[in-house]
Amino acid sequence: MGHSRIRNWFKLMAFDAYQDQEERFNWRRTLGLAAAFAVHGFAFMMLLAPMSPPQAKEKAKDNIVTVEFIEPPPPPPPPPPPPPEPPKKPPPKIVEKIKPPPLPPPAPPPPIVTEQATPMSTPAPPPAPPAPPAPPVDIAPSENISYRKMRPPKYPPQAVREHHTGKVILKVLIGTDGSPKDVTVEKSSGYRELDQSAVAAAKTWMFNPGRRDGQPYEGYALIPVDFNLTDL
């Protein structure tokens, strides 16, 4: 329908142009006809131009291939180790019970002798009274050896360098609670540093107080202290 109308229109325009040209040549009409032809030609070309399918862009989008990298699954965990075997119980020990030897039969009781009371019989004497307790023994003050072991006297470094040895006898006044009240040198070792070390150690010791009639009392005790390099 559209193409036939355009052809008829072109025929009419050509016929009119031909008649007008025969009558007289007109420049304005010629330019108008040329412009009309150009417009109609452009419209005709637009009608003949193939239209692009509307789904071309969508198809172009569909052609896009997306690639996704899938990580491989983790390896399966190793199987659990087999449970340890239970310890074997040692066989029970067979203990033989030793039967005690049979007891001898009990001896028969002695015969009971009954005596008839006579006017001539005399009563038994009364039992003797218990012996009185022994009087308390007097104990002299003495040294508690355990404190010497816990706090032994220090060997002076000067005496070690000079190889000094000797024996010190201390005179210690021991109180009723066992503490040393006074410490003096009864007999010197011959070296002052050894005597001073013995006195310093004895002041840290505890002693056994003396007892008289069961009661503690203050008293003196002689305590020997040896210094020997072989004990180091």
What pLDDT is attached to residue 8?
Answer: 64
* Rounded Cα distance, 18 and 15, in Å: 5
The mean pLDDT value for 10-35 works out to 65
Query: Would you say 211 and 138 are in contact if contact means Cβ atoms under 8 Å apart?
Result: yes
What pLDDT is attached to residue 159?
Answer: 92
Which two three-digit tokens encode residue 17? 């142009």
- Phi/psi for 216 (5° steps) reads -70, 150
Backbone φ/ψ region at 13: left (φ over 0), alpha (ψ -120 to 50), beta: alpha
- How many other CB atoms are there within 10 angstroms of residue 83's CB atom? 6
- How many other CB atoms are there within 10 angstroms of residue 12's CB atom? 10
Provide the pLDDT confidence category of residue 15 given band limits of 50, 70 and 90. low
- How many other CB atoms are there within 10 angstroms of residue 107's CB atom? 6
What pLDDT is attached to residue 223?
Answer: 94
The mean pLDDT value for 40-59 works out to 64
Residues 176-230: tens digit of each pLDDT: 999 999 999 999 999 999 999 999 999 999 999 999 988 999 999 999 999 999 8
What pLDDT is attached to residue 182?
Answer: 95
Query: Would you say 108 and 178 are in contact if contact means Cβ atoms under 8 Å apart?
Result: no
The mean pLDDT value for 129-134 works out to 68
Residues 61-102: tens digit of each pLDDT: 556 767 676 777 777 788 887 777 777 777 666 666 676 667
What pLDDT is attached to residue 48?
Answer: 73
Is the overall model pTM greater than 0.85, yes or no? Answer: no
Query: Would you say 163 and 229 are in contact if contact means Cβ atoms under 8 Å apart?
Result: yes
pLDDT at 16 over 70: no
